[in-house]
Amino acid sequence: MTDSNRLAGLKARPKDTSAATVSKAVEVGEKMGFVDRSPRRKPGRRPGPATAQLHPRIKLEIADAISDEAAERNMTHGQFSELMWNAWKESR
């Protein structure tokens, strides 16, 4: 079985990763028509500052109470949560 495995004698050798060698390889590649195709930035719309959402696990009766209180104040859950957070932060 070892006779049929032609790759058994191969050994890995470390490659030269110095800045000069890498820049020379990039330069030669660009001359031959190879270009870096990796995306420059993450595709899609950039998130706004207020889009981060928290998903806390809370008891259903507490969630209902928060929902009712937010509806009474004509607010969303997020706005009411911010209001509660600011009140708690000021109390400290």
Q: What is the 3-state secondary structure (H, E, C) of 43-76?
A: CCCCCCCCCCCCCCCCCHHHHHHHHHHHHHCCCC
Reply yes or no on whether the pLDDT at 8 is more than 80: no
Question: Which residue in the block uniquely carries the two structure tokens 């696990």?
Answer: 57
The pLDDT of residue 55 is: 61
DSSP structure class, residue 15 = P
Cα end-to-end span (Å), the chain? 74
CA torsion 13-18-22-27 (nearest 10°) is -130
pLDDT (0 to 100) of residue 71: 93
Query: Would the pTM count as exceeding 0.95?
Result: no
Which of these, 50, 52, 84, 51, lies nearest to 66 by C-alpha position? 84
Predicted local distance difference test score (pLDDT) of residue 53: 59
pLDDT over threshold 60, residue 1? no
For position 34, what pLDDT does the model report? 86
Return the SS3 of 36: coil
Q: What is the pLDDT of residues 32-84, one digit of tens each?
A: 988 877 777 777 887 777 666 566 677 888 888 888 999 999 998 889 989 99
